[in-house]
Amino acid sequence: MNTVYLSLGTNIGDREANLKLAVKLLMEMPGINVKAVSSIYETAPVGFLNQAAFLNIAVRLTTALPAAEMLSACQQIESELGRVREIRWGPRIIDLDILLYNHENIETESLIVPHERMFERAFVLVPLLEIAKEDTAQLLRAQQALQSMDLKKEGVVQWKQSGTAEEFVRSVN
């Protein structure tokens, strides 16, 4: 079984509902077992700054799916939520990024793992480290990267505390 960490982000529409629906769809996917969902964080936009604040979470799951199929599953959920390929760094209904897939380093045309920019982004690292379970070199690197950041300056604030994955999706429409 493979352990996978995802980062989810949204800054259009009912942001909490977008996250809940995405996690519900993940839980319903054959071959995917959602183990933990982080607190929800409200985060200042990174990249293109003139846009609404994001809500971000991280998800830990186990899966029998190979990395390429896990990517397809994420893209399927993005389309189900109505995401169209928008401007780079711009507003989005939902983004599901694979951060880590076991301890593996993967580099294909469509997928780079660990995620290319994850170690520079507090909005990724804070939720990730809240649910991280293993002591892998990648997670230790994430911890070290976060220690050198000023979270106030990075604009990452806990918005709703986490419970279980089942509690997270309970009130989804």
Question: Which of 123, 129, 78 minimizes the C-alpha distance to 100?
Answer: 129
Residue 18 lies near ligand GSY (rule: CB under 6 A): no
Alpha-carbon span 167 to 165, nearest angstrom: 5
Out of 61, 67, 94, 95, name the contact with ligand GSY by CB under 6 A. 95
Residue 46 lies near ligand GSY (rule: CB under 6 A): yes
Catalytic residue, from 14, 97, 121, 141: name it: 97
The residue whose Cβ lies closest to ligand GSY is 9
Describe the chain by its helix, strand, coil percentages, rounded to 5: 35, 25, 40
Half-sphere exposure of 98 (CA within 13 A, CB side): 31
Site for ligand GSY in 115-144 (CB under 6 A): 123
Q: Please identify, among the stretches 23-31, 45-53, 72-80, 133-141, the one whose residues bind ligand GSY according to the rule CB under 6 A.
A: 45-53
Catalytic residue, from 60, 83, 117, 121: name it: 83
Residue 163 lies near ligand GSY (rule: CB under 6 A): no
Residue 5 lies near ligand GSY (rule: CB under 6 A): no
Which residues does 3 contact at the CB level (< 8 Å), separation at least 6? 60, 61, 62, 100, 101, 102, 133, 134
Residues in contact with ligand GSY by the rule CB under 6 A: 9, 43-47, 54, 56, 89, 95, 123
